[in-house]
Structure 1
Amino acid sequence: MKYDFDTPVLRRGTDSYKWDSADRDDVLPMWVADMDFRTAPAIVEALRRRVEHGIFGYTRVPESYYEAVTGWFARRHGWTFDRRWMIYTSGVVPALSAIIKAATRPGDKVLVQTPVYNCFFSSIRNNGCETVTSPLRPVGDTYEMDFGDLECRAADPQVKVMLLCNPHNPVGRVWRRDELQRLGEICLRHGVLVVADEIHCELVYEGHRYTPFASMSEEFLRHSVTCVSPSKGFNIAGLQIANIVCADDRQRARIDRAINDNEVCDVNPFGVIATRAAYNEGGEWLDELVGYLHANYRYMRAFCREQLPDFPIAELEGTYLVWMDCRVLGLASEELERRLVDEAGLWLNAGTMYGAEGEGFMRWNIACPRTRLDEGLQRFAAFVRSTGRRR
């Protein structure tokens, strides 16, 4: 490989939210969704040149930024959209909150498919709306949409928006085109706006393909809003930049108003520069990263089959987040999270962060060198053995 993903990088002591939040230095964090890899060298070099300039005033987002974003999605994902449809902001979560604010009134309902990214719930709540859940259906080692239930929920006239997670965090699905088609038809029938969080779109594994929801038809394009960012794929979440794509002029104007009302209309120069470098020069690095992450997943799957057969993990089609079934332990997810930290020095995410359907599950972040992944798995296996002895 041209790029090094094996050498551990020291992050503790850098004010890393992931690494410096534990009370002890021996805790291995495999929770927060950022990676333990240095980002693409092209991004580092572009940022270095900007730092050497030495002045960091207010930034203007140049035309070359829009060209980089639209060019990347056209080349990489076959989705061509007008740069005038873009609104930049400081992150996908602020984007989701602003879109909900623009598309609903307090008391309206927003539909989600649980278990799902925890900030969906706070974005809905913070706008005075009510969350309506349509749980995903576990089938073997994966999950499927329950279209009958989805139709029933969407038919409620108070449901104005559906938040779609594509690819899905935390269950790792990359939704197929036919699945998105059925979902879109249901939402169109009932006048529900689809808001697609597609932040993990770059992290899709062999045999699967990311389909931008808005790319599927003119109707879907006009009745949806898409949120994207280079933050997950290129590990630049701390630079705080994302893009909203909305083709409908009136809807976009409302979103732009909400972005300004929420005071998330400005971005920093480093986010602009990093995005441009990622999309213009980072493709080769990203390809190698995806291959390494997929190999990490295969390593974890083999480890679990051999040493943790009672802890099945969901098939990972995309993202670097692995969903593990820990119900055999008979522990609540939050208690298991606490005990893993206290007794094993391993920090995972409790499944209940993502809705009631996550009870008994844990989410692993495997975006790390393989030696570190192995250490986390060994700690978990040792914890399971010690728990069995106590029982």
Structure 2
Amino acid sequence: MKNTKFDFESVIDRHNTSSLKWDLFDDEYPMWVADMDFRVAPAIENAISKRASHPIYGYSIVPDSLFESYVSWWDRRYGLKMSREDMLYATGVVPSISSMIRCFTDVGDNVLIQSPVYHVFFYVIEDNGRKVVENELVYENGEYKIDFDDLDEKLAGCRLMILCNPQNPVGKIWSKEDLKQIGELCKKHDVILISDEIHCDLTDPGIKYNPFMTSSDYENAVLAISPSKSFNIAGFQSSAIYSRNSHLLEKIKTQLHLDNSDSCNVFAASAVEAAYNESEEWLEELKKVLYENKAIVRDYLENELPAVNLVDCDATYLLWLDCTALNVSSKVLCEFLRQNQGIFLSAGSDFGECGDKFLRLNIACPPKLLKEGLDRFKAGVIALNNINRLSKNI
């Protein structure tokens, strides 16, 4: 991307920084876990450096200024009018979802998710002793939509629904009509809704996502939000919960405290406030970079690897690749790519069995790294096809 104010092209070596992405496995090219290989916005870097310059790192409170940054951000960007009284602090979106599962359901209860969906949803439900109920998304003509008849039927046996908006891994921005209908069905069946909206800012340029709360008036709903994906600050372990239902909030507050998931680390407030108050221009430039990276992938697949199709999406930096034509399971394909080319993508079956024959690809990296990853992907697919060809001739 030319004539940019911020640096999105420099390749920064992340090895030996205890990086989950780069240090978990030796000699692998990671394009799986959802964090970015871009330097953070200068305002965030400066804010952290300023806080680090103070030589005492004791326990921290959650300042009102942190909540004010959330309120301002959602108001000016999405027209969602929050208030400080309707918000809680949590150490992360997943920990807060885990707490809310324990808060609103009992062991053995059913919790509904819409697969293929963020794989941690499966774990956090099952690890809490609850049962996963899947409302599988319908994949037709290269795009996903909700099966509302199936959703209606299955919500009747559930106490809680976890929505992903925008949807990870398929990159779908749910329409206001979709969200309104989800709210109506949750109300019909008296199901509490948690909407994970952590990817909300990462849309294609000129496109905005629809917050659940501006699309539905359903009062038994909770938003789980954070700047961690948008500004690549997940390591600070910071998020917020918003609901218009004070009764739900009070129950969540008690549960978060019981779970020790309501404390703020010494750098979190500085990072969040610098992101929301001073880094909007950086985010807008990032969105252009991600859009260009998406175009690189689309062109590469069309010209170099036509057997793999990119599922159209408007949000996130996670691309959903349809590998059906390769005629191999996603687990087998992923393992072969790792062994043969050292490239690590996410197997589609991790996001639900309906995601098999798909892969998830993280494109939040400088173009140089992206192109190397694509070349490895292509070489691995060719090698696998050659092996399959040979085995058929034996």
TM-score where L is the length of structure 2: 0.95
Asked if structure 2 preserves the Cα contact closer than 8 Å seen for 1:107 and 1:128, the reply is yes
Residue 204 of structure 1: aligned partner: 203
Shift of 1:154: 1.1
Whichever residue aligns with residue 201 of structure 2, its letter is E
SS of residue in 2 equivalent to 1:286: helix
Deviates more, 1:364-373 or 1:98-107: 98-107
Q: Residues of 1 paired with 2:299 and 2:81: CA distance?
A: 39
- Within the candidate set 243, 257, 260, 2:257 is matched to 260
Asked if structure 2 preserves the Cα contact closer than 8 Å seen for 1:297 and 1:316, the reply is no
Q: Residues of 2 paired with 1:230 and 1:208: CA distance?
A: 18
Q: How does 1:263-302 map to 2 (within 5 A)?
A: 263-302=260-299
Q: Residues of 1 paired with 2:250 and 2:52: CA distance?
A: 34
Shift of 1:182: 1.4
SS of residue in 2 equivalent to 1:164: strand
Asked if structure 2 preserves the Cα contact closer than 8 Å seen for 1:109 and 1:129, the reply is yes
Q: 1:314 and 1:207, CA in 2 relative to 1: closer, same or farther beyond 3 A?
A: farther
Shift of 1:329: 2.4
Asked if structure 2 preserves the Cα contact closer than 8 Å seen for 1:28 and 1:376, the reply is yes
- Within the candidate set 355, 361, 364, 1:364 is matched to 361
Cα displacement string for residues 312-369 of structure 1 (whole angstroms, at most 9, x for unaligned residues): 1111210000011122223222222111111011110111111111111110000000
- Within the candidate set 333, 345, 348, 1:348 is matched to 345
**Does residue 16 in structure 1 map to residue 19 in structure 2?**
yes
Asked if structure 2 preserves the Cα contact closer than 8 Å seen for 1:90 and 1:264, the reply is yes
Residue 112 of structure 1: aligned partner: 113
SS of residue in 2 equivalent to 1:231: coil
Q: How does 1:210-249 map to 2 (within 5 A)?
A: 210-217=209-216, 219-220=217-218, 222-249=219-246
Whichever residue aligns with residue 298 of structure 1, its letter is A
Cα displacement string for residues 92-145 of structure 1 (whole angstroms, at most 9, x for unaligned residues): 000101111111111211110000001111221122211100100112222111
Q: How does 1:298-377 map to 2 (within 5 A)?
A: 298-377=295-374
SS of residue in 2 equivalent to 1:234: coil
Aligned-residue Cα RMSD (Å) equals 1.1
Whichever residue aligns with residue 312 of structure 1, its letter is N
Shift of 1:207: 5.5
Asked if structure 1 preserves the Cα contact closer than 8 Å seen for 2:205 and 2:287, the reply is no
Unaligned runs of 5+ in 2: 390-394
Residue 377 of structure 2: aligned partner: 380
TM-score where L is the length of structure 1: 0.96
Q: Residues of 1 paired with 2:200 and 2:236: CA distance?
A: 18
